[in-house]
Amino acid sequence: MEVPSAEWDSAAESWFAEMDRRIQIHHLRQFAQNSAQMNEDALRDFIAHHLNKIERTAQDRDKLDFLLVQFFSQRSSLSATDPDPGLELVAKALEPVLGEFEITAPEFVSRIDDVSREALDMQSLKAMFTARIIERGREIKAGCGDNFFDPIALAAFTRFGFLTRRRFFRLMHDDLNRIFDGLRELESRGVATLDCRKAQFAADEPVARLRLICQSWRVMFHAEYSSGQPLALLVDLRTAVEAALAQSSGTSPKAKAATASSGTGVEFEVSASLAAPETK
C-alpha cells in the first residue's frame, strides 16, 4: 500500500480543519440529539478532539461545553425526579474524558453556581429569560478565557449547562401545558379565535390551529434550549392565552366584540365572532 505523501497529509488536515470550522454548534447539537451514532464512544472522540487543539476559538469552547453536557447526561442517566447533581458527582462522571482533578473553587465557579441556583428558582420561561440566565452563564464562560479549558472549569460549566437544560425543559413543558389548558378552557367558553398579534400570529387566530402549533412545538423544542425567537413566541402565546382567559371571564360576547372592533382595550383581545350566543 502506497504511503501518502506529505502534501496529501497536509491537504487532508486542511480539509478536516475547514470542515471543523464549518460545523456550527447548532449542527452539532442537532446531530448529537437526533442520531444514534452519537454514542459515548463518539462523544469521547469529539471531546478529545477539542481538548487536544493547540489553538482554540470561541466556537471550540461552545462545542466542548455542549459535548460535555451531553456526555454527562448520557453517563449519569438522572431522571427528572432525581436530586440536582453536585460538582463532585459531575467531576466523577467526567473523569473518563477529563481525568482526575482536584475540586477547587475559583471565583468564577462561585459565580456560575450562583446563576445555577437562581435558574432553579425560576417558575416560568418568561422569568428565566427576563433574568437572562442563559446569557449571564455565557458571559461568565467567555470571561474565563483559556481558564475555561481547565478541568474544574469544564466540570462547573457542565453542571450549569445540565441544570439549566433540565430546568428549561420543565418550564417549557409547564408553559405548553398551561397554554393547552387555557385553550381548552377558552373553547369551553365558546371562544373560537384569539387576537395574538403580539405573539406574531393573526388577529383572529383559530384556537384549534394554536393547539396544533403547540403540538409541533413539543417536538421542535425537544432538542434546543436558548432564548431564541420560537421560545419568545411560546412565552408571548402563554401571555396571550392568560390575558384572553381574564378578558373572557365575566364579559359578555357583545362587550368583547365591541372592544375588539374599537381597537382599544387589553393587549391581547378575544375575538367573539364565533363565540356562543348570549342567553336572554
Span 265-276, pLDDT tens digits: 333 333 332 223
* pLDDT score recorded for residue 221: 59
* pLDDT score recorded for residue 260: 36
- Please write the tens of the pLDDT for every residue from 207-259: 999 988 888 877 665 544 554 566 788 888 999 999 889 988 754 444 343 33
Asked if residues 158 and 69 have their Cβ atoms less than 8 Å apart, the reply is yes
| Percent of the chain's residues with pLDDT above 70 | 83
* Residue spans per domain, the chain: 15-170, 189-271
- Please write the tens of the pLDDT for every residue from 35-62: 888 899 999 999 999 999 888 889 999 9
**Better pLDDT: 28 or 4:** 28
Where does the pLDDT of residue 110 fall: very low under 50, low under 70, confident under 90, or very high at 90 and above?
Answer: confident
What secondary structure letter does DSSP report for 226?
S
Average pLDDT of the chain is 81
Quick check: 75 pLDDT over 80? Answer: yes
Query: Please, which contacts does 211-217 make with residues 24 or more away whose CB atoms are closer than 8 Å?
Result: 211/180, 211/183, 214/176, 214/179, 214/180, 214/183, 217/176
- Please write the tens of the pLDDT for every residue from 125-182: 889 989 999 999 999 999 999 999 999 999 999 999 999 988 988 888 899 999 999 9
* pLDDT score recorded for residue 30: 80
**Better pLDDT: 104 or 39:** 39
279: three-class secondary structure by DSSP: coil
Grid cell 406574531 — which residue? 200
* pLDDT score recorded for residue 64: 95
HEC secondary structure over 46-103: HHHHHHCCCCCCHHHHHHHHHHHHHHHHHHHCCCCCCCCCCHHHHHHHCHHHHCCCCC
